Structure 1
Amino acid sequence: MAKGKEAKGTQVTLQTARKAIRMMPNGQHRLTLSNMGITIFPKCLLKLTNVDELDLSRNLIEKLPESIGNFSSLRRLDLHSNKLESVPESIGKLVGLTHLNLSNNCLTSAGLPSTLGSLASLKSFNLGLNQLDALPPTLKGLESLQELGLFDNFFTMVPEFVTDLRNLTKVNMKQNWPSHCQDDGEGMMKKISESKEEVFLVRESNLCETCLKRCKEQEERFTEGEGSDKMENKRIRTYSGLMVPNSVARVHQDVWRIRPY
């Protein structure tokens, strides 16, 4: 599989796409084009709208075409770990969709269309690892929804309509960044508090050797060490149906776009 510079702008031909279609044990057809360095939604896929499952995860796609609504047979759509900032309104035409994974993208609340509420057959909806602080109220129409992933976003509370979803059994809201946190302009998060208490940001160069070592040890435990693995495994067991990209922090977003299976 292509990597690095060769992976950027990978062109997918109709022949390549057809070869990537597999028959699943349940008789459905799955088209997998994951982790191929695709930057633009392949137009040739519009000739394969009879597939039941489409996996375009771990690519670099920034925009979906309005024609995405032509995949009338689609039951599962996996777009996790791309660079999507919005979703077209035509996605509401995929009324047979049961699983939708939009996690680990760049989605904002303004980029979510109200037509998502038309996906009445949807059972699993993953919106984790994005930039959301609110959801369209029309999502109360997702009567079949069982699992909802909202982890690693900017929510300060559970959306009100969630209590109206009678079949909902799992809601993952772990690690949401409160609205009173802001980027200081240099990649650091600074807490804006109404109280007089302040938080000071310290550079590595200002730390003594002992403190610097302690900070690095803590960072390794959360990003590379055993603590991270345990937390990841725990999420998989608890929210397996959400197809979570196993990330425990926002800083892992780009890693999961290129990490191989």
Structure 2
Amino acid sequence: MAKGKKKSSEPKGRKITLKMAKNAVKLTIDGKRHLDLSNMEIATFPKCILKLCDVDELDLSRNLLKKIPDSIDRFVNLRWLDLHSNHLEQLPEALGRLQGLHSLNLCNNLLTTYGIPHELGLLRGLRSLNLGMNRIETLPSSIAALKELRQLGLFNNLLTCVPTWLHSLPNLQSLNIKCNPIPPDNPPPLDPIQRVECLYLVREGCLCGECLQKCKEERGRVDSRLSGGPITGRTILARLITPNSVAQQDQAVHR
């Protein structure tokens, strides 16, 4: 080694050529173009893939990436972007210009609240966002603008509270906030699925003894209120076993 030169501790990573990238493009079942460069020890965003910016899906997961360049906005057709398991500390503002994006996976990186730009809220069509296994202490307020969001992963972070505005996301179906240091006196909001009252019609034989007893007691209370009145469609419906979402959850636990 020449005098005065120090050996770099930074991983050089694997060099990706345009030919390699072209060979990594596959068609999905629904005919979309999927560029898979996952688990290839890539340490620097390969500029050559900008020549393939018409792909619909881009997988750069399980690499050594520390930065995503602003040129990511040239992938105007992207509907699916997977960056999980890299070394990302900050996201580019240009990410908010990927207006067709439906799914964004940022799990298992080094992101903090300050590393997530407000422009993330411009992804109005985003349906799935995974921010799990990062270093997020407070939830970015930009997420409140993602009205089409259906799945949100926030597990294994440093959250001490979850804002109530999560309840205002009209389409949220799945929320994972496990393994966060949320104190017992500040419990997380209920999963949106559990907050919706649903009606389940099941056979009595499918219920355990405890759940069956609860349903019969509820049915008895309904019958007592309706006794002496005319028989209607509502009366008949009330005589069915109709556990709500809480009873359905209890049944799953017993099984």
Matched residue, 1:153: 157
Q: Give the C-alpha shift of residue 106 in structure 1.
A: 0.2
Within a 5 Å distance, the mapping from 1:127-138 to structure 2 comes to: 127-138=131-142
**Deviation for aligned residue 1:161:** 2.6
Matches within 5 A, 1:71-90: 71-90=75-94
Q: Which amino acid aligns with 2:26?
A: R
Q: In structure 2, what is the equivalent of residue 165 of structure 1?
A: 169
TM-score normalised by L of structure 1: 0.64
Identify the residue that residue 232 of structure 1 maps to in structure 2.
none
Greater length-normalized contact order (CA 8 Å, ≥ 6 residues apart) = 1
**Counterpart amino acid of 1:54?**
L
CA drift at 1:8: 4.9
- Quick one: which amino acid aligns to residue 81 of structure 2? L
* Contact 1:62–1:85 under 8 Å retained in 2: yes
| Cα RMSD, aligned residues only | 1.6
CA displacement 1:144-168 (0-9 Å, x = unmatched): 1000000000111223331111000
Residues 1:111 and 2:115 aligned together:
yes
Render the CA deviation track for 1:47-84: whole Å, top value 9, x for unaligned: 11100000000001000001111111000000000000
**Runs (4+) off by over 6 Å:** none
Q: Distance in 1 between matches of 2:30 and 2:163?
A: 35
Matched residue, 1:52: 56
Candidates 120, 132, 140, aligned match of 2:124? 120
Report the identity percentage: 50
Cα deviation code 1:113-145 (max 9, x no counterpart)? 000001111111000000001232122111110
Deviates more, 1:101-110 or 1:156-165: 156-165
Give the Cα–Cα distance (whole angstroms) in 1 for the partners of residues 60 and 34 of structure 2: 11
Q: Which moved more, 1:24-33 or 1:137-146?
A: 137-146
Normalised TM-score (structure 2): 0.66
Aligned with 2:34: secondary structure?
Answer: strand
SS in 2 for 1:69: helix
Distance in 1 (alpha carbons) for counterparts of 2:44 and 2:52: 17
Gaps of 5+ in 2: 1-10, 184-255
Per the alignment, residue 211 of structure 1 pairs with: none
Q: Distance in 1 between matches of 2:76 and 2:168?
A: 27
Give the conservation status (yes or no) of the 8 Å contact 1:139–1:161: no
Residue 153 of structure 1 aligns to a residue whose secondary structure is: coil
Q: Point out the structure with max Rg over C-alpha.
A: 2
2:138–2:160 CA contact under 8 A, matched in 1: no
> Counterparts of 1:211-222 in structure 2 under 5 Å?
none
Partners in 2 of 1:11 and 1:111 — Cα distance? 26
Matched residue of 1:163: which SS? helix
| Paired residue total | 174
* Residue 241 of structure 2: aligned partner: none
Cα deviations across residues 30-63 of structure 1 (Å, max 9, x unaligned)?
Answer: 0001111000111111111100000000001000
Alignment of 1:33-72 (within 5 A): 33-72=37-76
